[in-house]
């Protein structure tokens, strides 16, 4: 078990390092080419790109110009590592594990990109939905999923409907259209009932975190702002500030998904 966890963890570290490149270069430049410092442009050596460890040893600063390196890098790498270990050790089939790695990677890039830009790229949301739908079909064929195929087909739209309704009623002021698209995959991954549960749980998580984001305490507000922008604090957060909902959906999805896979209890909201 320990050896397996280490192998999956190392795999997650490598993938997490690549995900940082995907997040930062999406829509700006191609994925090819050497990585360099965002401040001075100096190309990074291999020993400056060791996941998590390089950031720690460098004190979060560029070796050449001493400019700050965003905490996003080690956070993404560490989060991907934990998710990959959780997927790898789960009592699921090999095919579902492979699909699960893809889903975990997509959820990480979507969450972080949404935090940085308050937008969810369509291609990532649809890719997640496609993988989630395939997982549900594989589970049906393996006899471990919902036997009603029609219900599975409707699971995605059912989970997306509440968010789509909020978007339609508010004309996009309360909710972006990317969130319903993300919820499609959540519904297909978790099923109709757990999918709706995850959407509701996302609102609960969002409400709890938002309380800390808007607390009128300067140092807490500064910390919350830093987390919101992953190292780029945004002063003056208020009730009117735009807070991306995608990360809350993804956090909820992961909690429900892993709880279901490992047979862990979920809280009941009455």
**Residue 193 predicted with pLDDT over 60:** yes
pLDDT tens, position by position, 200-254: 999 999 988 877 765 544 444 454 444 444 544 444 555 556 778 999 999 999 9
| Domain coverage including residue 155 | 141-270
* Residue 200 within any structural domain of the chain: yes
Determine the pLDDT at residue 172: 84
Region 44-69: mean pLDDT is 83
Q: How many residues does the chain have?
A: 270
Q: What is the distance between the alpha carbons of residues 187 and 146, in angstroms, rounded to a whole number?
A: 12
Token code pair at residue 183: 């919820």
Quick check: is 265 in a domain?
yes
Residue 246's CB is within 10 A of a number of other CB atoms, namely: 25
Residue 118 lies in a domain: no
> 190 near 198, Cβ under 8 Å?
yes
Chain segment 61-102, per-residue pLDDT in tens:
888 788 888 899 999 999 999 999 999 999 999 999 999 999
Residue 111 lies in a domain: no
* 16 domain residue, yes or no: no
Answer whether residue 103 is part of any domain: no
DSSP string for 187-242: HHHH-HHHHHHHHHHHHHHHHHHHHHHT-S-HHHHHHHHHHHTTS---S---TTS-
The residue-averaged pLDDT of 2-25 equals 93
State what percent of residues in the chain have pLDDT above 70: 82
| 244 domain-assigned | yes
Q: What was the pLDDT predicted at 209?
A: 84
* Dihedral-angle region of residue 60 (phi above 0 means left; psi in -120 to 50 means alpha; beta otherwise): left
Q: Is 231 left (phi over 0), alpha (psi -120 to 50) or beta?
A: left
CB atoms within 10 A of CB 17: 20
User: In this structure, what token pair is assigned to residue 131?
Assistant: 């993988």
Q: What is the pTM of this model?
A: 0.85
* Structural domain includes residue 258: yes
Q: Give 98-133 pLDDT, tens digit per residue.
A: 999 999 999 999 999 999 999 999 999 999 999 999
Distance CA 178, CA 98 (A): 25
Count of domains for the chain: 1
Q: Contact, 79 vs 52, CB < 8 A? A: no
Q: Report the C-alpha gap between 244 and 121 in whole angstroms.
A: 13
Q: How many CA atoms lie less than 13 Å away from 33 in the CB half-sphere? A: 12
Q: What is the pLDDT of residue 218?
A: 47
């Amino acid at each position: 078990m320990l050896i397996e966890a280490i192998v999956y963890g190392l795999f997650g570290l490598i993938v997490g390092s690549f995900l940082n490149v995907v997040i930062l270069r999406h829509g700006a430049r191609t994925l090819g080419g050497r990585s360099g410092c965002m401040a001075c442009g100096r190309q990074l050596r291999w020993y400056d790109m060791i996941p998590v460890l390089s950031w720690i040893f460098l004190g979060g600063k560029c070796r050449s110009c001493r400019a700050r390196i965003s905490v996003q890098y080690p956070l993404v790498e560490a989060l991907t590592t934990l998710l990959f270990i959780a997927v790898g050790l789960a009592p699921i089939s090999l095919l579902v594990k492979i699909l699960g790695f893809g889903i975990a990677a997509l959820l990480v890039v979507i969450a972080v990109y949404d935090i940085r830009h308050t937008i969810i790229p369509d291609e990532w949301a649809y890719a997640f939905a496609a993988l989630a739908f395939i997982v549900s079909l594989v589970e049906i064929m393996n006899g471990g999923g919902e036997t009603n195929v029609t219900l599975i087909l409707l699971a995605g739209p059912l989970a997306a409907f509440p968010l789509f309704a909020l978007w339609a009623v508010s004309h996009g002021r309360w909710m972006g259209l990317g969130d319903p698209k993300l919820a499609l995959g959540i519904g297909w991954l978790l099923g109709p009932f757990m999918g709706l549960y995850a959407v509701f749980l996302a609102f609960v998580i969002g409400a709890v975190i938002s309380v800390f984001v808007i607390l009128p305490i300067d140092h807490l507000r500064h910390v919350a702002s830093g987390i919101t922008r992953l190292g780029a604090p945004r002063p003056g957060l208020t009730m009117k500030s735009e807070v991306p909902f995608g990360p809350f959906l993804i956090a909820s999805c992961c909690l429900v998904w892993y709880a279901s896979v490992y047979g862990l209890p979920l809280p009941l909201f009455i």
